[in-house]
């Protein structure tokens, strides 16, 4: 244990210390009040929380405080940040975070000591990441004159910008900044330098737990955190007067599947009427207009005329009639039936990729039905159609399970009838 603590301590000093000749300039350590944290009323539906990472964002060489020596803790040199922007994957930060949450009856998942993928993280509904953008510390080594940098004490201040990500909503649903400070009131201890910083981080964590919005997010288990937004449709009538329905031949299907571009990313979509394309809400996001590219390479601008963020579906209208459209199923296919997914996985150059699988099950998640299939889909397939062997659309691709970026053959699709119903569109 002694050797390990010595290595950690030396790593800490090497990370933030620039020992300059002469007297150092001590940092002003701001006092931070502890916000009142009431125990969260835990229930079967309380959302589990996982800390994904802590990022330190300080400029290289930025002054953070002083290292001090002697019984009177006289400054002997400056502490400067040497790492610039650095991802800290320290189990100490994670354990400090978990300890504070569990003290107040919050559910946590994730084992910082796991050498491989931790299955418990699959249960997490809320991911939390912290960015430390301000760090001040004065660390005193009373026996430094005798070459003893083992025992120390100190005081530290930390400001953390938190982001809270909802798995269910697939987006950051809350951002908040909190502060923490610590000052040792006792004598020097082994590893007192890191103790000061970690205790300041712990107070910043407690002040996150006191944030009313964060508490509301965690307590609303089994529900979407974001308020569902519904954009009213404009003439969202499924007219198929001038277009021809797609048949059962797979070579035809690409004619009614498109790639949707919004912002920096892309997704997929498919033609459901003369001038309407169905896709995911998370593909178009809050855009009013998106670029639509057809299998032929033709690219047009479409207008987002209807969307439902809670069901994650949206409709885009194109000026002018399209030659072909998909037939839509009012029912959910039977488990074991053959299905095909079509879309633009990973890169737009793979547009109209067709993959085959079966219906693995029908799931009810948070009072919403999903078709589960082992058919191969990847990022970029979102919004694309799931069709049966007759070429009829039964579902809309929405998500898949990945571990270390590897697909697991567990993918989910919104029943197309549910998608249209959520948009107020009759089939």
> Would you give per-residue pLDDT tens digits along the chain (427 residues)?
444 444 445 445 544 444 333 477 888 999 999 888 887 765 556 777 888 888 888 887 788 888 888 888 888 888 887 644 434 456 788 888 888 888 887 878 765 554 444 444 555 778 899 999 999 999 888 887 677 777 889 899 999 999 998 877 667 888 999 999 999 888 888 877 788 889 999 999 999 999 988 988 888 755 666 666 767 666 677 888 888 899 999 989 999 999 999 877 899 999 999 999 999 998 998 888 999 999 888 899 999 998 888 889 999 999 888 899 999 999 999 999 999 999 999 888 899 899 999 999 999 887 889 999 999 999 999 999 999 999 999 999 999 887 777 888 899 999 999 999 988 887 7
10: phi then psi, degrees, rounded to nearest 5: -65, -35
The reported pLDDT for the residue numbered 234 is 64
The predicted model scores a pTM of 0.58
Of 294, 299, 419, give the one whose Cα is nearest residue 344: 294
Q: How far is 59 from 81, CA to CA, in rounded Å? A: 7
Report pLDDT for 235: 61
Alpha-carbon gap, residue 238 to 236, rounded angstroms: 6
Which of 46-58 are b and which e, b meaning 16 or more Cβ less than 10 Å from the residue's Cβ?
bbbbbbeebebeb
Nearest by Cα to 387 from 341, 356, 347 = 341
CA pair distance 276, 198, nearest whole angstrom = 55
Kindly list the domain boundaries of the chain, sorted by start residue.
Answer: 2-219, 230-422
Nearest by Cα to 384 from 251, 246, 280, 261: 280
- Options 3.30.70.100, 1.10.3720.10, 3.40.50.720, 2.40.10.120; CATH for 230-422 is 2.40.10.120
């Amino acid at each position: 244990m002694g050797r390990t603590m010595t290595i950690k301590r030396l790593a800490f000093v090497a990370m933030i210390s620039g020992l300059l000749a002469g007297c150092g300039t001590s940092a002003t350590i701001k006092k931070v009040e502890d916000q009142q944290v009431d125990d969260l009323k835990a229930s079967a539906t309380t959302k589990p929380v996982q800390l994904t990472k802590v990022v330190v964002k300080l400029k290289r060489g930025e002054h953070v405080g002083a290292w001090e020596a002697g019984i009177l803790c006289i400054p002997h040199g400056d502490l400067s940040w040497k790492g610039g922007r650095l991802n800290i994957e320290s189990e100490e930060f994670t354990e400090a975070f978990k300890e504070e949450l569990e003290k107040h009856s919050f559910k946590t998942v994730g084992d910082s000591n796991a050498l491989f993928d931790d299955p418990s993280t699959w249960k997490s509904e809320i991911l939390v990441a912290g960015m430390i953008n301000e760090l001040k510390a004065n660390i005193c080594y009373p026996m430094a004159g005798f070459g003893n940098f083992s025992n120390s004490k100190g005081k530290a201040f930390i400001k953390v910008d938190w982001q809270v990500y909802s798995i269910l909503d697939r987006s950051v649903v809350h951002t908040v900044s909190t502060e923490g400070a610590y000052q040792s009131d006792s004598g020097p201890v082994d590893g007192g330098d890191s103790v000061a910083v970690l205790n300041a981080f712990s107070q910043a964590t407690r002040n996150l737990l006191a944030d009313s919005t964060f508490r509301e997010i965690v307590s609303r288990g089994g529900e979407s955190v974001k308020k569902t937004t519904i954009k009213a449709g404009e003439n969202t009538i499924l007219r198929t007067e001038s277009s021809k329905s797609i048949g059962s031949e797979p070579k035809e299907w690409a004619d009614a599947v498109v790639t949707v571009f919004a912002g920096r990313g892309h997704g997929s979509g498919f033609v459901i009427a003369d001038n309407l394309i169905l896709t995911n809400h998370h593909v178009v996001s809050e855009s009013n207009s998106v670029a639509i590219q057809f299998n032929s390479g033709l690219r047009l601008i479409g207008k987002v005329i209807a969307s439902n963020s809670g069901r994650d579906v949206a409709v885009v209208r194109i000026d002018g009639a399209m030659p072909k459209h998909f037939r839509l199923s009012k029912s959910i296919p039977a488990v074991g039936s053959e299905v095909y997914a079509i879309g633009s996985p990973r890169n737009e150059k793979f547009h109209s990729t067709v993959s085959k699988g079966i219906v693995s099950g029908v799931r009810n998640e948070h009072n919403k039905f999903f078709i589960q299939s082992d058919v191969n889909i990847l990022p970029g397939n979102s919004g694309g159609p799931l069709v049966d062997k007759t070429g009829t659309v039964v579902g809309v691709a929405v998500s898949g399970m990945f571990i270390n970026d590897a697909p697991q053959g567990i993918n989910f699709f919104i029943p197309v009838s549910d998608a249209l119903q959520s948009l107020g569109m009759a089939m």
